[in-house]
Amino acid sequence: MICYQACKAAGALAAAMNGVDTLVFTGGIGEHAAPVRHAIAQGLGHLGVVLDNDANIRNADTVSAPGSPVTVRVIPTHEDLMIARHSHRLPDGP
């Protein structure tokens, strides 16, 4: 279901933006789940998304195939650091 929803959202955004130059996977699943990236990329093949399977399995920074019309990147988010930064900014109380 997550792959279906991701393809649906990416397809809608691609239509609104008149195409896609780069697709970014991030967050825990996007950074570490090669099978999920593969399934999503297959669903977006008509947009020019083509993965390099070896790079995808290695969780490389760039997982698109050489010559792919769309660059596919994997970018770490450091979510724990962002949560800590935002929490630090919260007031101490009412």
- What pLDDT is stored for residue 11 in this prediction? 95
Q: Encoding tokens for residue 82?
A: 């962002």
CA gap 28, 87 in Å, rounded: 20
Is residue 93 pLDDT above 70, yes or no? Answer: no
Length of the chain: 94
- What pLDDT is stored for residue 94 in this prediction? 58
Predicted model pTM = 0.82
Residues 6 or more apart in contact with residue 77 via CB below 8 angstroms: 26, 27, 31
What residue spans of 1-94 are helical by DSSP H?
2-17, 27-32, 34-43, 53-57, 79-89
Q: Encoding tokens for residue 64?
A: 């698109």
The share of the chain scoring above pLDDT 90, in percent, equals 77
Give 84 or 59, the one with higher predicted confidence.
59
pLDDT in tens, 42-75: 999 999 999 999 999 999 999 999 999 999 999 9
Q: Which of these CATH numbers, 3.30.420.40, 3.65.10.10, 3.30.360.10, 3.30.70.260, describes 2-89?
A: 3.30.420.40
pLDDT confidence bin for 80, thresholds 50/70/90:
confident
